Amino acid sequence: MNKKFHTIGLIARHHAVGVRSTLCQLGDFLNERNYKILLESSIAKELDNWEFGSASPEEISKNSDLIIVVGGDGTLLHAARGMADRNIPLLGINLGRLGFLTDISPDNMHQALEQILDGNYEKEERFLLQAEVGKPGETGESSTAFNEVVIHKWNVARMIEFETYVDGRFVETQRADGLIIATPTGSTAYALSGGGPLLDPTLNALVLVPICPHTLSNRPIVVSGDCEIDIVICGRTDPKNVRVTCDGDNSLISSTDDRIHIAKYEHSIQLIHPSGHDHFNLLRHKLGWSEHPVKK
């Protein structure tokens, strides 16, 4: 049988509970099937009994056909942003809490991997966002986000004031603690906590969710994923008291006359799921939705 993948990169969350044993099991499993393995060097050094290949994140991104992420959704978010330009499919082993993205349990890891490595899997393409902060017409500081871009207050207890534009069209001026611009992937994350809707991950859409708005009629808005969003800090808000955070990780700092521009990133992410993957089943399980009772 022709292999779909030949070199498999392993990315893991440092110090996650169970990460060492899971990585060692993965190494043995893949080595027995003659796959070339590349584990992040910094983690390989922490494993006393790691006998397989290791490499830097840059080398992993250049040489891997598949990347297996061991950790929680945050670990996969970090890997997705780093690997987006390489178009390498990602597969997640869940050692975190919810696991919307890392949807394979360590308990059935071997069975799921057997099917996937034999070519029985589902591939899903999802888009990222790019946020850029700078003067209009100039290239500013930028960062990518897989879940969401959040404009939020910083070091102050009061609300911030900002204008929102969609494709150059003025939407509104509002006072709030901030604004979440989320992808369908991110609709189950911070946007959900802020009262936003759940979006099917295959939709080409964005959701704009205000954070604790002053005017209660300010509700979440869903727009096309091809729309370009611009945010302008206004009123008495000092831009120094505003931050732009991508996936809760990278933060950009705004200054006077800056425009915050959010648009779809030019590269997308490929996620690998076991055959029969059902997004609604995932939602029922992770969010505790009720199910029909089993007939006896």
What positions carry a catalytic annotation? 73
Alpha-carbon distance 89 to 195, whole Å? 31
Q: What phi and psi values does residue 282 have, to the nearest 5 degrees? A: -65, -45
Q: What phi and psi values does residue 126 have, to the nearest 5 degrees? A: -130, 150
Sheet holding 221-224, edge to edge: 221-224, 205-211, 178-182, 148-153, 242-246, 250-253
For the record, the structure tokens of 277 come out as 């993957």
Alpha-carbon distance 151 to 98, whole Å? 25
